[in-house]
Amino acid sequence: MGAVTGAVFYRVFTPIGLVANLLLVPLAMIVITAGFASIAVGLAGWTAASVLFNHAAVLVLAIIEALIRLAQRVPGVWLPAEWRTPWWGTATLVLLLGVVLAGYAGGWRGWSRGFWPPFAVVAAGLIFGVRFG
């Protein structure tokens, strides 16, 4: 879905987006956990630990930002993408939502076994509906 919405809203396609999220989402979880810990120990009156958790969160956020800035310099990480017709992106998103809901409702059995239909909708939408470059 991120590939489709990136092309719809930002006119950018990021083929490395999935791999990047596999690295960045756990780091973001660390930031959120540190923020929660900061609040919890701060409410308990342990100010020094609260400050420590806040600084840890800021450090991890700085690492995330540095990784994103580094990745932006790699050729081919992002490509300009524009839908051939404006409604095509919205139609792809609606069809994707319908396929996911139908697959979920059917327990991902039968035609939707293996989770391939959402992938097929995204691939077809990008191949036939997006102009890259």
For 18-54, how does the pLDDT look when each residue is reduced to its tens digit (9 = 90+)?
888 899 999 999 999 999 999 999 999 999 999 999 9
pTM check: above 0.75: no
CA dist 133 and 124 (Å) reads 18
| 56: phi then psi, degrees, rounded to nearest 5 | -65, -40
Tokens of 56: 């840890």
The domain limits of the chain are 1-15+79-133, 17-73
Neighbours of 7 (CB within 10 A): 26
pLDDT, one tens digit per residue, over 55-65 is 999 999 999 99
Identify whether the C-beta of residue 26 lies closer than 8 Å to the C-beta of residue 20: no
Report d(CA 20, CA 26) in Å as an integer: 11
